[in-house]
Amino acid sequence: MEIIYGHIGNGVIFTSVDGVVISPGALIGKGTEIHAATEIRGDSVIGENCVLGPSSVISNSKIGDCAKVISSHVYDSSVESGVSVGPFAHVKVGSNLSRGVRVGAFVEVKNSNIGEDTSALHLTYIGDSDVGKKVNFGCGTVTCNYDGKNKYRTTVGDNVFIGCNTNLVAPVTLGDGSFTAAGSTIVEDLPKGSFGIARSKQTTKPGWADKKRAEGKLK
């Protein structure tokens, strides 16, 4: 409690101290709000006016001013000012999230550099990647970085739109302003401003469901 009281004296706000653990080597800026069950480990540096928790873990990482880490884990990484992480996100070893990045629910970032104002808000894995500014990762995007033996990097330019359920099979590069169709598996580089679609063609069979219901084979 002595460590916590010391931070309170420096202007840090604790909405609850239940389950809160702060390393003696951690630095926390004035006005930062810490919620229950949050752990700040190692030599982490937290900026001013941040929101951490509840149930967040920050380990040996730097968090910029006005950032939010909500019910998420950040390990050995850098989160710049105004970034939002969580809930239920993981930012893992060697990652850098630039200003204004948003990493949402059930998103994992590992060993990756993410440019300013890029968003990955739902169910996405970004591993071993270099991502530009103002990129949109659609729900379910996966960087396929491992072939069973080696890991490879994915490069995404600025202003790229990645459709939902896109697989990016590394090594691969998406040029500035390019676009991928939902459900695509991208295995070749996309030039600047191009559109990549890599999925099976839909086949529609009129009346099939009605026929099967009439035969008692469907509810």
Could you give the CA distance from residue 118 to residue 96 in angstroms, rounded to a whole number? Answer: 12
Pairing of strands 68-69, 51-52: parallel
Q: Compute the distance between CA of residue 43 and CA of residue 196 in angstroms, rounded to an integer.
A: 43
Residue 28 · residue 5 · CB < 8 Å: no
Q: Of these residues, 7, 73, 90, 122, which one is catalytic?
A: 122
- Among 117, 112, 123, CA closest to 159: 117
C-alpha–C-alpha distance, residues 15 and 31, integer Å: 12
Is 35 noted as a catalytic residue in this protein?
Answer: no
Distance, CA of 73 to CA of 68 (rounded, Å): 11
* Contact status, residue 177 vs residue 193, Cβ threshold 8 Å: yes
Q: Which residues belong to the active site?
A: 122
